[in-house]
A and B are shown apart, each in its own frame.
Chain A
Amino acid sequence: MIKQFTQLKNWKSCLLLTFTTAVFLFQANASSHREAPLISQDPLADNTDVYAFRSPDDSSTITLIANYIPLELPEGGPNYYTFGSGIRYEIHVKNQAATGANIDDITYRFTFTQVNEDTTTFFNIRLGKQNIKTVYLLEKSFDGGAFTTIVAAGIVPPPNIGPRSIETGVGLNSNYTTIMQAAIATATTGEKVFAGPVDDPFFVDLAGAFDVGNFRPEGNTVNPPKDGLNRFNVHSIAIKVPISMLQKDGKTTAQATSILDADFVIGVWASASRQQIKTISADGSAGYSGNWIQVSRLGMPLTNEAVVPVGGKDKWNAVASNTAGESQFDKYFKNPELGLYMDNSQFGKAVPSMNGLRIQSRSLGSFDFRNGKKGLFGLKGSPALNGTALAQAAFGDYLLPDSLSPRAVDLLPIFQTGVPNLRPYQLATGKGGDPLAAGKPFINNFLPTFGDMLRLNMAVPVTSRTSTDFSSLGLVGAAVLGLTDDRFNSTGTLQFIPNMDGFPNGRRLEDDVTTIELQAVSGVVLAAIGLWYDDYTPGTSPSPVTQNLLNVLSFNAGPTKNDTTFKVAFPYVQTPWRGYDHTIKARF
């Protein structure tokens, strides 16, 4: 064990250097923009991203953000983008498994209505009047019960058309920041609420990602990566909620037993629903009737974009998270398509841009996590598993279901249940070379409702956005520090490691989820808990920080951050790009 630490320390500077470089480099896919065939035809209801994080400027609260309507051109007039009427936009929160998996513990429901203040013009805004002016009703429900109105007539700011429409007397005679600030509402139950157009906070090289994985690394001078979402807006719903209002027993973090207190885990997902029957009439009007049907949903980023294949995408959107229907998609996590492109016995050689990512085929000389292989299944029933999450007595067959589901041990729980603070899901620090041994805790967002949600342990402290330790690699950043940094790798005891509050423990606006997920598919979580890459031979290799691990940690698929900043206070998302004069940047 001492030896192991020493080895790690020796490699620390090397890894840190690589890692620091990686922070400057990195990224790649649109979280869920136009991700399924049907919803790509219904942009108003298309849920593009969900975020859940402890507020950096107010750590007693959590901020929930759900974005809709992809690729809004800022100058897309005369009928600028806005939330659809006839759509239920919802943010769902689970805070305990005991209440029944298919019932939300808390649901926020937004519905929007529009009025035209001056029907005689084709302009959206003219002479102080606004057309397609949008207001919202926000309702809240507990435990799947009746909805209560908590914001009655919330204001959606107008589109940021340009100086004449917003600032001058021929327009609204105001300024956009004032308008946006004035639109922040306080719900009768105390939450802060915002609904309106914002800069799309997501960033990805769309062009590269979907040209059969033609990623362009950041720093690539020959063909620099392009953020396909740069200079586009999106419509955002943001809610800032006191932690005690989300915690199942009404506790504040001061009452948490530890920074990984299991009682502070919430699961968050968003959806859009429409009434089942749309009738269009010959007079140019449209009407809706029938049951409400979920047409879009999102919890974990990229699930429906890059995990579920085209044949399952529309179905995935229609299934409610945490319901029985979820299990039909388990197979895509157990053997993910992306895994094929990180495996030279499959299509790995055909996707050169991902060649830094190779899944363990012979970890510790024996474990193969490539698609269709055994993974850890060979250990099933072994007494060595006793006391770990992998023991039959712990979660039954879930994590080791059969000999052909290698990723049921990591990707499946990351996406479907959260990860418990149990062996083997602790950092290799302190394990002395045995991945099943107790190590250093770094995550506990376990909420076993079996559904695709963003799971956040609200007890984990906030990493300051100005800290030198802040990393857009989220929990991968925390794992690297926990394994290699003197401040964190000297013992196996629980400590706050910076970025433990980052994806996949919730999701911050800055988190580079594309890179993190691609790293995760390539087995980086397995490596972090001691299931090292193929080029580490126990007893022979000087350090587990091998070339393969360095390749994964320095993997870089494109843009690594948003094309603008974020606000330091609610709603955190940035002012929408202005149609008249935003600067042009290449998108593809």
Chain B
Amino acid sequence: MKKILNFFTALLVCLAFNQTTLFASSHREAPLISNDPLADNTDVYAFRSACDSNNIVLVANYIPFEHPAGGPNYYTFGSNIRYEIHVDNNIATTGADIIYRFTFQQVNEDSTTFFNIRLGKQNLKTTYTLEKSTNGGTSFVTIVANGIVPPPNIGPRSIEDATVGLGAASYDALMTAAIATASTGEKVFAGPIDDPFFVDLGGAFDVGGFRTTGRDGLAKFNCHSLVIEVPISTLQYQGKTTAQATSILDPEFVIGVYATASRPSITTLDANGGKPVASGNWIQVSRLGMPLTNEAVIPIGSKDKWNAAITNDERPFDKFYKNPELALYMDDSQFGTAVPGLGALRIQSNSLGAYDFRNGKRGLFDLKGNPALNGTALAQAAFGDLLLPDSASPRAVDLLPIFLTGVPNLPPYQLATGKAAGSPLAAGKPFINNFLPTLGDMLRLNMAVPVTSRTSPDFSSLGLVSAAVLGLTDERFNANASLQFIPNMDGFPNGRRLEDDVTTIELQAVSGVVLAAIGLWYDDYIPGTTPSPVTPNLLSVLTFNAGVTKNDTTFKPCFPYVQTPWRGFTGAGYVGPLSFDPLPVTFLDFTAEKKNNQVELTWKVANEISNDHYDIEQNAGGGIFTKIGTVKATNANNVHSYSFLHAGPVLNKANYYRIKQVDIGGKSSYSPIRVIRFSLNNVFSISPNPVKNVININTSQPDLRVNLFNAEGKMLESKLLTTGNGQFNISKYASGMYIIVAEKDGIKIQTTKVIKQ
């Protein structure tokens, strides 16, 4: 045992630093729904709140790959779609018991602009109605009447600017103001957010091209989220709080959660571009409970059907869990060798010297009818044929219940801790009970399980896999088989937290990690011979890393938990020259000329009306103009000329001049800018001249731009010399004369002729 402990300690260290992931949970996951992004349900989460442990947070996300700058018609929830979150809390009833239904409406506040937001007005401005049913959908009551969907996070001019935009204090202020409290007490948010999911899409779908340095395909994309925070007593079917739970795995506290989107069956387009008319029955077009089911479990031939199928009525899809496609890529007798990205994951083919869980194999079927099963979940008396249906459905014993019924706290579904070596059917240490045998794809959460603090060193994005590892290997938890709270027992697949790396967890599960955790070890463990069940194969699975292990930003510590949507426009706004307002006077001409070491400025104006004076301003670099003199205005009706002599220009740098015209009321405007340079005569030299191929240019000036012109004055090449020298290769040009012009700060300062031989 001591030896095992040492192994596990090493493993834990390893795991802590190698948290992991993969796939888009359900983004564009089926052919039809990929054509209907507004109704495309991408992810569902259900977790006990880390901010208020009396509450459960339900999150359903829609609309994949929202480009934050996707204007002018930024993404929003669709009208004519029912977005629903379903909660099943009672095995005695068929289907969901509580249903939250969101519907959305849009208005244009200013239909004369193509901008989404302008001058305080917003187009496609969206509000929602939230209805709730507590009788399985028989009747609904409105619990939020005019919920606000925050606008798209377009940018600083649209959101914060009080003149051209909405004048909000910040986007977060809009987001906070949009949080509603339902008449039944729930906190509610509906709006755009950072997509919390993370996955190496590019690798995963290139025939499983997983890589250790994966790229989060959803990074910097937004999605639309529905978030509801509900007291546990509202969800528990008898109204109980967790204080009334019999244990932290009390089976009465299990809920099943899934989300859907439905549209009316008939949509009729308007020939004149008017709103399409929707009619007919509501048809479910998208659904999601467990992540990745329709993405990577259901094959393409059945994906559209799966989306339309009613949860709890999905027997046609059982076969995909009993023999999952992904397992083919973790099995060297199938396509395993062709998918190196999953090479770390090999399913047990000879667990405990006897059991083969590869697709089409017998799994535990040979135990069927054996008295050893008595008292376990596998006994015929327990769940009939469900878990051991036939000799060719090896994963009916683990993947099927994880996805479709939840896992009961019964042998063999207890950790190997406390089980004698080679006896997976014995009683072990409890670690899960989210059993709600309604035979439907749902996220099943036992609400009685305490919350793991997000700041705890034990917190792990590997969820229940991590809890299993702790329960098997950590001295705090593996000393005996009694029920204890093990950190991350509140993680996927016991519900799903925003942080949970469900891709890795599911790939590990397909490769048999749950079987291993309950004592059906990997092939390289030989009972009585191998010193520890923590074999290289198991370590390989537990340290598997498919690329991206966490979201590309943080989460909020409290409601709505999901993060502010990425802003379309980031950084400083327009930075550039500001040209002029039309002047009360018209600057007809403005020239600056050298007079020895002084500069004479002359300007000609027309239309002087209520003009007071002119300020002459100079800028000797550094960008700041300072006043160097004043000339009183004459207010002549016709064209009038003024002049000013600047006695002290700087001689070693550029002098920029402009005239500020100030009218009697104090309003002012500016002339164009003129530049004068002294003493920059020999800023660069060239060699050789005449030249055959390459002209070398040397200068002491930093950031000098040199332009090569032909004799006709056409510019051929241009270079910025940052280091003091550079070259033009003119071998490709015809013989003749060429001209090199040097510019500094956009001003032409020296010209030299070159002869090409």
Contacts and interface: CB of A to CB of B under 8 A. Distances in A.
B587 interface: yes
A216 B568 CA distance: 13
A223 B576 CA distance: 10
Interface in A552-588: 556, 579-582, 584, 587-588
Interface string B330-345: 0000010011000000
Contacts of A169: 338
A161 B206 contact: yes
A486 B118 contact: no
B325 A162 contact: no
A355 B582 CA distance: 11
A433 to B, nearest CB: 16
A210 B575 CA distance: 17
A210 B72 contact: yes
A75 B209 CA distance: 12
A487 B209 contact: no
Nearest to B297: A122
A122 B295 contact: yes
Interface in A189-223: 206-217, 220, 222-223
Interface in A520-579: 534-535, 537, 540-542, 547-548, 551, 556, 579
A164 interface: yes
A306 B72 CA distance: 9
B712 A122 contact: no
Given A122-B325, A228-B69, A295-B269, A77 B576 contact: no
B568 A284 contact: no
B388 interface: no
Contacts of A379: none
B201 A579 contact: yes
A468 B714 contact: yes
Contact of B37 (A43, A127, A163): A43
Nearest to B163: A350
A310 B123 contact: yes
Interface string B594-610: 00000000001010000
* Interface size range on B against A: 35 or more
B118 to A, nearest CB: 6
Contact of B587 (A44, A207, A318, A535): A535
B569 A207 contact: yes
Given A274-B269, A588-B568, A164 B206 contact: yes
B116 A311 contact: no
B67 A337 contact: no
A71 B70 contact: yes
Contacts of B117: 212
Contact of B269 (A79, A293, A307): A293
B582 A132 contact: no
Contacts of A41: 36-38, 78
Nearest to A84: B35
A587 B217 contact: no
A59 interface: no
B304 A284 contact: yes
B577 to A, nearest CB: 7
A278 B285 CA distance: 13
Contact of A120 (B163, B299, B572, B577): B299
B497 interface: no
B569 A79 contact: no
A79 B29 contact: yes
B305 A162 contact: no
Please indicate which of the listed interface residues B27, B72, B202, B305 has the most CB atoms of chain A within 10 Å of its own CB: B72
Nearest to A72: B65
A318 B586 CA distance: 47
B689 interface: no
Contact of A38 (B273, B586, B606): B273
Contacts of A286: 32
A587 B69 contact: yes
A281 B280 CA distance: 10
A40 interface: yes
Contacts of B158: 211-212
A119 interface: yes
Contacts of A118: 300
A148 B629 CA distance: 79
A345 B411 CA distance: 80
A164 B604 CA distance: 71
A34 B66 CA distance: 11
A487 to B, nearest CB: 7
Given A210-B72, A588-B566, A122 B308 contact: no
B307 interface: yes
A355 B579 contact: yes
A580 B269 contact: no
B386 interface: no
A255 interface: no
A366 to B, nearest CB: 14
A216 B574 contact: yes
Nearest to A314: B273
Contact of B577 (A318, A356, A579): A356
A71 B269 contact: no
B263 interface: yes
A337 B113 contact: yes
A378 interface: no
B668 to A, nearest CB: 14
Given A206-B568, A207-B69, A537-B588, A283 B305 contact: yes
B568 A165 contact: no
A374 interface: no
Nearest to A215: B574
Contact of A76 (B201, B307, B582): B201
Interface in B150-184: 154-158, 161, 163-165
Given A16-B713, A43-B37, A74 B114 contact: no
Contact of B309 (A276, A284, A313): A284
B73 interface: yes
B582 A579 contact: no
Given A211-B158, A305-B114, A588 B578 contact: no
Contacts of A132: 31, 300
B202 A74 contact: yes
10 contacts: A37-B106, A164-B209, A214-B157, A291-B271, A307-B114, A310-B114, A315-B274, A535-B586, A547-B672, A588-B568
Interface of B: 27-32, 34-38, 65, 67-73, 75, 78, 106, 108, 110-119, 123-124, 154-158, 161, 163-165, 201-209, 215, 217, 220, 263, 265-276, 280-281, 283-285, 295-309, 325, 335, 338-339, 566-579, 581-582, 586-589, 604, 606, 639, 672, 712-716, 718, 746, 748
The 6 closest A-B pairs by CB, nearest first: A311-B111, A119-B301, A162-B206, A211-B155, A210-B71, A77-B205
Given A162-B203, A314-B273, A337-B114, 4 more contacts: A42-B35, A277-B266, A278-B267, A469-B714
